[in-house]
Amino acid sequence: MTTAIVRYTEPLELKEVSFLLEKAQRDKKVYYKIFRVLMIASFVFPFIGSWYRAFEGAPNAFSLGRFFVSTGILLAISFTAMWFAYKVNLGKLQADLRSRTKTVETAHILRKAYMHRNDAYYFYIASPNKMSIQVSNEDYHRLDIGDEVNIEYYTHSKLYLGYF
């Protein structure tokens, strides 16, 4: 069964915007905490390495040049990694906040599953953005394989909002 994916965008509701703002603020705090830890580690590890070289009996173990070069390399690696992670993850959330849109996608149900372990019902759907969705007991028994279900997600970050 090959069908075209139907997508359209809608403006975000107020509660969806507030959720996105709170998530962006929480994620930003986490990124700053991680970056602070990486900055401290960038200074501590070369210092520990100097002490290790001193215990080994290396001449000039506490070289300022070696300390600053290794600190600079570690800072550059930390900064680059955090910048990419920030742009890839938090940048998408900020793009969603700027556009204030959500995407509604029509997907077909491929398979139905009941998980005994957590007493939950799932639909496996034909969507490039979401493989399965958890549904209510009523919807699980009302809809069948091949039926259409609409899913909503933020346009840029692809965070799942729900189905109808």
List the domain range (segments joined by +) for residue 155.
Answer: 101-163
Mean pLDDT within 31-42: 91
For residues 114 and 75, state if they share a domain.
Answer: no
Judge whether 1 lies within some domain.
no
SS3 119: coil
Which tens digit of pLDDT belongs to each residue from 74-91? 999 999 999 998 888 888
Per the DSSP assignment, residues forming a β-bridge with 107 are: 149
Q: pLDDT band at residue 3, thresholds of 50, 70 and 90?
A: low
> Of 99, 130, 154, which residue sits at a domain end?
99
Q: Which of 74, 99, 124 is the last residue of a domain?
A: 99
Q: Which residue has the higher pLDDT, 142 or 63?
A: 142
Asked if residue 90 is part of any domain, the answer here is yes
Contacts 24+ apart (CB under 8 A), 8-13: 8/103, 8/104, 9/101, 9/102, 9/103, 9/104, 9/155, 10/101, 10/102, 10/104, 10/152, 11/100, 11/101, 11/102, 12/96, 12/100, 12/101, 12/102, 12/154
Query: Does residue 71 share a domain with residue 114?
Result: no
Q: How many domains does the chain have?
A: 2
Residue 23 sits in the same domain as residue 35: yes
Residue where one domain finishes, among candidates 62, 84, 99: 99
Based on the fold, state whether residues 91 and 147 are members of the same structural domain. Answer: no
